[in-house]
Structure 1
């Protein structure tokens, strides 16, 4: 399996990019999903060193799997030029980090509250940005996430179809559709045509899914109790990974850990995932 770590897991730690590269290489990850905040910081402060850092990554068999950032797809129409400039800057960032994917959210409001005009604006902008990205060799990726127009299975399917035929990819965050009542395997089966990336994280109980609300996740004093390891939470990830392994999915599986001690937990998660590629596991599943 193609397992990557998310640099956003270190949003509250004093960790350098070379340290993350070294950690990813030592512990068997295949790459790093780079949070846009971290990418902009590196471009501002370490631009001259960046080619050497990326060469070091590549020498270790690593790469930047995706840039994860945000654009306001629901901004007023008179701000379209500003939106396009921000997208152009993100495409420049993708090229600087030698990656071909940029993940954004489909707006910043729940799909159930969308007016037809707002929905059309969002779908049209997704389609337009995806075409612009494709012209520069990059793929726009939408993530399933609460308070966006991809917050349920039905809304995600509708958005992907309405924005077609532009080359849009999907980052399937299993937990965020699971918390709406969609079984992870069902989400995978219905969305697999568009999937190019996965986010995996777990929680001790369904009623604690709100721990992943942005206000809590980004607060240094936010609640962390209830965030669970993949093997020990309420989502049955063993069944999910059995399915992904059976289908030989080539897409990156990005571990998002928002709790304490990310170095230790990410290494633990990577070790747990490693056994899906072992011969004895394959034999057991035959």
Structure 2
């Protein structure tokens, strides 16, 4: 298993991309998941520095596994030209940062909230995006996330069946799939043929899951109480990491941290993950 940090973890920090590269290398990360907001800002403000940054990143054996962005899939008023502009931008950003995966959400409403027309609109747009990204050597990655059409295991599998395109993949967020009512390992087993990436984060108790709602995550003054290290929360990540180690998964997991002191937190998480992964006794799946 390879691990990446997310630049969104540093959204309220005054830190350069080059500093993140050096920190990620020292801490043992294999990559940096680039938030779309940051990718656009880097291209706009530091255009000439991106190439030397990428040279340094690769010299450390690191990569950009994924650019995480957003698009309005359920907006009936969203013209196709706007989605095409977003698609063009993704292709350009992927080229600049030498990645092949673009992560998005499956709309902004839960699977139980949409009607048939909205569902079909989302499926149609996902299929077209998958087709056009595939033609450019890229992959579209859907994240399992509340308040999207991929908010449960069943709805995520339904999307995959109905879009039916090899360029559509899954970013499995273990906490959110648990929030959707599924055992994380059972969900992984069901989604394994489509999983390209994982997100890992944890929370103290179910009543605090709302702290991960986007409006709170983006707010510099939003509450952070309940965001805890992987080993301390309601989802058993020791079990998950041990299972993935046994399964010899060749995928990348990003550590999502939206709380305070991201440098200190991520360093501690990497040390814990190394210890769990190297333990001789692995987790065994019960019958």
TM class by shorter chain equals over 0.9
- Provide structure 2 residue ranges, at least 5 long, that are not aligned to the other structure: none
Paired with 1:202 and 1:222, the residues of 2 have a C-alpha distance of 17
Q: How does 1:183-222 map to 2 (within 5 A)?
A: 183-222=183-222
Aligned-residue offset at 1:284: 5.8
Aligned-residue offset at 1:214: 0.9
SS across alignment from 1:111: coil
Paired with 1:203 and 1:126, the residues of 2 have a C-alpha distance of 31
Q: RMSD value over aligned CA atoms? A: 1.3
Q: How does 1:2-81 map to 2 (within 5 A)?
A: 2-76=2-76, 79-81=79-81
Q: Does residue 110 in structure 1 map to residue 110 in structure 2? A: yes
User: What do the CA deviations read for 1:100-142 (whole angstroms, capped 9, x no partner)?
Assistant: 1000011111111111111111111111101111111110000
Paired with 2:8 and 2:259, the residues of 1 have a C-alpha distance of 11
Aligned to 1:181: 181
Paired with 2:247 and 2:282, the residues of 1 have a C-alpha distance of 16
- C-alpha contact (below 8 Å) 2:149/2:155 kept by paired residues: yes
Paired with 1:234 and 1:181, the residues of 2 have a C-alpha distance of 13
Aligned to 1:144: 144
Aligned-residue offset at 1:282: 3.2
SS across alignment from 1:243: helix
- C-alpha contact (below 8 Å) 1:105/1:142 kept by paired residues: yes
- Provide structure 1 residue ranges, at least 5 long, that are not aligned to the other structure: none
- C-alpha contact (below 8 Å) 1:71/1:87 kept by paired residues: no
User: What do the CA deviations read for 1:22-78 (whole angstroms, capped 9, x no partner)?
Assistant: 100000000000000000000001111111000000001111110000011112266
User: What do the CA deviations read for 1:172-220 (whole angstroms, capped 9, x no partner)?
Assistant: 0011111122111111111111100000000011111111011111111
Aligned to 2:241: 241
Aligned to 1:127: 127
Provide the aligned length of Structure 1 versus Structure 2. 284
